[in-house]
């Protein structure tokens, strides 16, 4: 049996996994990354219609680890967010000019994020990729965490990170339980081209089935996340191109002029899940493996990037202090740092979705009163904007744009 040895072994080369790997390598760690998929399969230039709102603070992390030069040309700044409640005239308006310190975030197509990660991987030293590779077991032996691969290889490290997504097998093998529930909703995702400019404004419309988000991409294009009741998912996905376009146009209204669907459409079941612990024996959970939330606030990946920034700082400090990076007190420092922030966003997205995904008259009235109140009270508006930018709480240095 051949054994390869690293400081840190990351399971999962998704957006959170590779960002963490690049950040850790930049901090001087020797990192191994395993994924069951070939890396090239994830780095396809074809547009798959998916895009992410990357908060201002998360962009600081991407800048700090050298990804931004690969992304800048593809990033659409979010200058305003407008939230409206169905046909009600009440709406919330968040304008970055009120904060005056750069955009609320950037919309970036997932393919560009992945291509930037692939390009940066070629530039940094200290990362070994094992992909595609099938893991048959993970565990610990003495002061090492290990993964056994189907081809007989053994990879070990002082610390393993489970960044293998919502269905993390690494988490399950460590015996860490999760709480999860389904919202009975799906997120239908596609991109549109339109006649008029979006002017950098993100729109979130609360319709009875759930939020309908129109998110600005570069050029006259936008990304849509159409939340629909799960029981109608097959019907919507089976609509012919003209009928689908008609439904999209109806929901968008006419402020963007005529819209056309660009490329395909995708359907994701929506649910909430959180792990009962963020750490185990020489193990830390990062990203969707630790928490997967409703996309209502576009914060799922942002939470993963915040995990990543906190963990890189904790591990870098531990090494500078001469500590064992897999020691329980080091891992507990990471878990303590991330638990409260993640828990509050899990709760907020859950409550918002329940509050806004219905058409019950008294609830509609209450939320319209709430919207009107937030709109009138500047400190409250500022509070929500700081949350959208990811600039609240005890931020890790990389999210503040500072070196480690």
Ligand X SMILES: Cc1cc2nc3c(=O)[nH]c(=O)nc-3n(C[C@H](O)[C@H](O)[C@H](O)COP(=O)(O)OP(=O)(O)OC[C@H]3O[C@@H](n4cnc5c(N)ncnc54)[C@H](O)[C@@H]3O)c2cc1C
Interface residue with ligand X among 49, 103, 287, 396 (CB under 6 A) is: 287
Q: Does a cis peptide bond (omega within 30 degrees of 0) precede residue 132?
A: yes
Binding mask 303-342 for ligand X (x = CB under 6 A): -x--------------------------------------
**Least Å from the CB of residue 291 to ligand X:** 9
From the list 63-71, 241-249, 300-308, 315-323, the region that binds ligand X by CB under 6 A is 300-308
23 binds ligand X (CB under 6 A): no
**Least Å from the CB of residue 227 to ligand X:** 8
Torsion angle defined by CA atoms of residues 224, 286, 389 and 190, in that order, rounded to the nearest 10 degrees: -10
**Least Å from the CB of residue 187 to ligand X:** 3
**Least Å from the CB of residue 13 to ligand X:** 5
125: phi then psi, degrees, rounded to nearest 5? -100, 155
For the segment 134-163, give every residue that binds ligand X (CB under 6 A): 135, 163
Residues, the chain: 404
For the segment 244-273, give every residue that binds ligand X (CB under 6 A): 268
Q: Which residue, 8 or 11, has its beta carbon nearer to ligand X?
A: 11
CB-based burial, 222-259: b 16+ in 10 Å, e otherwise: bbbbbbbebeebeebeeeeeeebbeebbeebeeebeeb
128 binds ligand X (CB under 6 A): no
- Other Cβ atoms within 10 Å of 348 Cβ, number: 16
Q: Which residue, 301 or 315, has its beta carbon nearer to ligand X?
A: 301
Interface residue with ligand X among 8, 32, 35, 113 (CB under 6 A) is: 35
The residues, any chain, with a CB within 8 Å of residue 114's CB and separated by 6 or more, are 15, 42, 43, 44
Q: At what angle do helices 15-26 and 56-64 cross, to 10 degrees?
A: 50
**C-alpha triplet 337, 311, 20: angle, nearest 5°:** 140
For the segment 173-232, give every residue that binds ligand X (CB under 6 A): 187, 189, 225
Q: Which residue, 169 or 375, has its beta carbon nearer to ligand X?
A: 169
Q: Which residue, 12 or 23, has its beta carbon nearer to ligand X?
A: 12
Interface residue with ligand X among 8, 27, 52, 228 (CB under 6 A) is: 52
**What own/partner pairs with CB < 8 Å and gap ≥ 24 does 394-397 have?**
394/337, 395/57, 395/309, 396/306, 396/309, 396/310, 396/312, 396/313, 396/337, 397/309, 397/313
Return the residue nearest ligand X (CB atom): 14
Binding stretches for ligand X (CB under 6 A): 11-17, 34-37, 52-53, 135, 163-165, 169, 187, 189, 225, 268, 287-288, 295, 298-302, 304
């Amino acid at each position: 049996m051949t054994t390869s040895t690293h400081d840190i072994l990351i399971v999962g080369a998704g957006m959170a996994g590779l960002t963490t790997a690049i950040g850790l390598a930049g901090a001087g760690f020797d990192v191994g990354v395993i994924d069951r998929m070939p890396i090239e399969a994830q780095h396809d230039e074809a547009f798959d219609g998916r895009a992410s709102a990357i908060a201002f603070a998360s962009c600081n992390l991407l800048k700090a680890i050298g990804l931004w030069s690969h992304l800048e040309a593809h990033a659409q700044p979010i200058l305003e967010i407008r939230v409206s409640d169905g046909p009600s005239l009440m709406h919330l308006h968040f304008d970055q000019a009120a904060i005056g310190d750069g955009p609320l975030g950037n919309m970036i197509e997932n393919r560009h994020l992945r291509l930037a990660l692939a390009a940066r991987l070629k530039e940094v030293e200290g990362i070994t990729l094992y992909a595609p590779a099938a893991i048959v077991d993970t565990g610990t032996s003495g002061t090492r965490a290990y993964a056994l691969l189907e081809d007989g290889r053994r990879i070990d490290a002082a610390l393993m990170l489970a960044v293998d997504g919502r269905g993390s097998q690494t988490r399950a093998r460590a015996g860490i339980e999760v709480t999860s529930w389904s919202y009975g909703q799906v997120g239908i995702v596609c991109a549109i081209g339109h006649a008029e400019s979006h002017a950098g404004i993100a729109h979130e419309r609360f319709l009875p089935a759930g939020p309908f988000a129109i998110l600005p991409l570069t050029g006259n294009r936008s990304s849509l996340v159409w939340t629909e009741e799960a029981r109608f998912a097959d019907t919507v996905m089976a609509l012919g191109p003209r009928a689908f376009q008609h439904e999209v146009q109806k929901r968008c209204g006419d402020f963007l002029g005529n819209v056309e669907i660009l490329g395909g459409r995708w359907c994701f079941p929506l649910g909430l899940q959180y792990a009962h612990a963020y750490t185990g024996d020489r193990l830390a959970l990062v990203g969707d493996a630790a928490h997967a939330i409703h996309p209502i606030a576009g914060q799922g990946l942002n939470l993963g990037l915040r995990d990543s920034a906190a963990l890189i700082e904790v591990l870098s400090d531990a090494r500078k202090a001469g500590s064992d990076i897999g020691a329980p007190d080091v891992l507990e420092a990471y878990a303590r740092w991330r638990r409260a922030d993640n828990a509050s966003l899990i709760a907020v997205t859950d409550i918002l979705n329940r509050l806004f995904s219905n058409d019950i008259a008294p609830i509609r009235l209450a939320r319209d009163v709430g919207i009107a109140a937030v709109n009138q009270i500047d400190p409250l508006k500022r509070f929500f904007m700081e949350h959208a930018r990811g600039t609240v709480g005890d931020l890790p240095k990389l999210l503040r744009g500072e070196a480690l």
